[in-house]
Amino acid sequence: MGRITDAELRKRGVSDEDIETARIVQQAQRRSGAKVQQRAVIVGAIQERHSSPPVDLTERQMHKRGSYDQAALLLDQQAMQESSPERAERAREASRAAKELSSSQQIEFDFFGGGNVSIAFQYQSTIRQRLVNSGVSRAQQHLAASVLWEICCHLSWQSYECSKTAGELCQIADVETAAMARTLALLEQVGAIVRVKKGRGKVITVTPEGAYRGNIHNHGKAVERYRLDVIDGGKTD
C-alpha cells in the first residue's frame, strides 16, 4: 500500500491537529533512530504492515564478536525475558562476568555503560494500554509515548527525577508548549509520571519500578525514596 497523503487523511475525517501531532511523532522517531511510521499509521487510519522477524543475533550481528561478548549479549537478552527478578539478576551477574573476560573493543555505542536506562516491560505495556483506554486519539497516544521515552532517557542517575523541565522537553521533542502541557497532563492521568512541586516549579518523576538509571545495587534505595517523597508526601494535584 502506497503512502496516504494528508489530504486523503482529511477526507477520512482525521483532524489537522492529529495530522500535526503525527508529524511531530515522526520527527521524534527520526531523532531517536527508530523506524519512521506513516502518518496514516500513527493516527490509526491504516494498520502497519509487519515485516518478518529479525534474523537471530547469532547469525548476523554477533559473528564478529568474541565468544565472551556473544555470551554477555545473550545473557542480557535472557535477563530481559525472565519473569523472576531473582533469575534476571543472576543472568545479569553472569553477563557482567562475561564482559569482564571479554577483550573486544567498543565500536561506537556503549550499550552496557552506566548512562543507559532500564525500562520494565510491564510498565511499558501497562502505560500503552492505559493510553489506549484513555479515549484520546491515536496521534495523541503516540505523542505521549514519545514524550515518555524522552523523560525516561533523561532520568537522573540513581534517581526517579527527570533532569529536564517541561520547557526543555518541548525543545527536545520539538513540541509546542500547549501540546506538551496536554501531553504531560495525560501521562500523569494514566499514572506514567508524577509531577512533584519543587521550589517554584514542578519536577517530573517516574517510579523506579518502571524506569531506572543507575547501579542496580542502589535500586531498592531509589524505590524507597520515591515512595517516601512522591507517594507519601510530595505529589501535587
What's the rounded mean pLDDT across residues 183-203? 93
The reported pTM is 0.60
The residues near 187 (Cβ < 8 Å, ≥ 6 apart) are 127, 144, 147, 148, 151, 193
Predicted confidence at residue 84, as pLDDT, reads 79
The residues near 21 (Cβ < 8 Å, ≥ 6 apart) are 42, 43, 137, 139, 140, 142, 143, 179
pLDDT tens, 8-54? 999 888 888 888 888 888 887 787 667 788 888 888 888 766 544 44
Computed over every residue of the chain, the mean pLDDT equals: 82
Predicted confidence at residue 55, as pLDDT, reads 39
Predicted confidence at residue 60, as pLDDT, reads 46
What's the rounded mean pLDDT across residues 206-224? 90
Q: Phi and psi at residue 133, in whole multiples of 5°?
A: -75, -15
Domain locations in the chain as residue ranges: 67-101, 118-234
Q: Directed axis angle between helix 166-173 and helix 177-189, to 10°?
A: 110
Predicted confidence at residue 53, as pLDDT, reads 46
* CATH architecture assignment, domain 118-234: Orthogonal Bundle (1.10)
Residue 224 cell numbers, joined: 524507597
